Homo-oligomer: A and B are copies of this chain.
């Protein structure tokens, strides 16, 4: 094989691909977004003439987040966009020169000028898949020095993405399928693209919409938002509303004084049979704000009702405006609660809506939407469910996007083979020992259609076959093993970046398709793996052959102690 010729062909092919694949979403994701030691190692490899050596790295995590037993894999698209456009600029190279000891040779910096990812191969589980500890999410092959440079950006792009997608999926699980889930986290996110990433990956994990306009634009995620407390308190009284007319929904007539119409309705509500005595004078600044908002968005009237007092001011004011809109053929969307006892308040609000529907004969008014926000998380959603509530939609921010319950996922990137020699990383902590060898991994499905176990094998072992019994061994615990007769076998990793291998490249799917995949995968899991309390761990295993090899290599590398 003419290695060079092959490399050149690959470079040409890679160029074509580069044209097709845009760069990372965040332009700050450059070859310099990495740890300095990736460059010091590169120099040491180069100095030793070792930088070309073909290496295989696995990217995986060791423990599912949030005390759960599953993780959603996300961030792959950004990794591929990164390597498709990987090229160092003169400025970047000159900065590296300044950052390394002055003894470093010029030839090295010339070499950096030429590097790209045309000789790197990336195999990965599809983005949006449900994944488990120890099973490689990515297998990255290529010249060791270049692949090392990718370690930090790949981890940065995958760790948080997978963490927050998992968090979103967990929130969806507790909220239930029928609720609308809105991501409202931008202002509390860990920096601007903490916010933008959160919006993307929460949508992927099953949220319906975001408040983040930039994310809506970048990724086509549906946007939601109406008004804040400041909007309410920026008004003093309805007197300040100058333009008071509103055309009816069908355009047939115009109400010249919508402000008075609202006031009329407020009086009617106050003395209506079911609501008499519930409230006295409502807050006039709030009434003005709601009226003004309705004049601007008669088809999209959703009001935040807790600026002063939900039941004694916010809800009566909302209903007055909503009924005035109803007179003109518009249907109010609903209200948002952002404080207090959301279970209790949502039930009170629903009662109020039902009373209005009944007293004034407005069918459907009882179904007016109730959105809840304010420091929601898995626990509060669960508590709301247990108490009983009338919430239709949740706006979730801080806890969702910062992953408050566990703000980091610990993906690692470990060398498993170099020059066709398997490598192992030992540790006194068994959970930190790496699984050596270039591997394949499979998901085996049982009779009921649920995934039963993931199994890793050596690259060249025959794949598990439907209907054939196979021994699945725990990688480190001798006594844990089980025979499985798979009803379906799914190879997990596909080639997302073929480098110079000539293999076909799997296309990056659209976000919507990744989201659909994710939702389907989550539904396919056996329920006991998914529950919040004491979920059953999903089994991850290795083939008998790989098991034996791991332990052979381990004994080979570990020093023998001497008791004294």
Interface residues in chain A, defined as those with a beta carbon under 8 Å from any beta carbon in chain B:
24-30, 32-41, 43-45, 47-50, 53, 55, 57, 92, 95-96, 99, 101, 103, 144, 148, 151-153, 155-157, 159-161, 164, 184, 186-197, 211-214, 216-217, 223-231, 233-234, 236, 240-243, 277, 279-283, 285, 292-293, 295-300, 307-309, 312-313, 339-340, 398, 402-404, 407-411, 413-415, 418, 421, 423-429, 432, 557-562, 564
Contact = CB atoms under 8 A, between A and B. Distances in A.
Nearest to A210: B36
Contacts of A39: 213, 225
Contact of A213 (B36, B190, B241): B36
Contacts of A309: 426, 558-559
B223 A99 contact: yes
**Lowest 9 A-B CB distances belong to which pairs?**
A36-B225, A37-B225, A155-B187, A190-B190, A407-B407, A44-B296, A402-B407, A230-B415, A35-B211
Contacts of A223: 36, 99
A415 B234 contact: yes
Contacts of A99: 213, 216, 223
Contacts of A36: 211-213, 216, 223-225
B27 A160 contact: no
A33 B192 contact: yes
Contact of A233 (B148, B298, B415): B415
A122 B402 CA distance: 28
Given A281-B559, A402-B408, A186 B34 contact: yes
A515 B308 CA distance: 42
B408 A184 contact: no
Nearest to A212: B35
Contacts of A195: 33, 156
Contacts of A229: 414-415, 425
Given A44-B231, A44-B297, A229-B414, 19 more contacts: A26-B191, A26-B192, A28-B28, A34-B213, A35-B187, A36-B211, A36-B213, A44-B292, A45-B231, A48-B295, A49-B243, A55-B234, A92-B217, A99-B216, A99-B223, A148-B230, A148-B231, A152-B186, A285-B557
A301 to B, nearest CB: 11
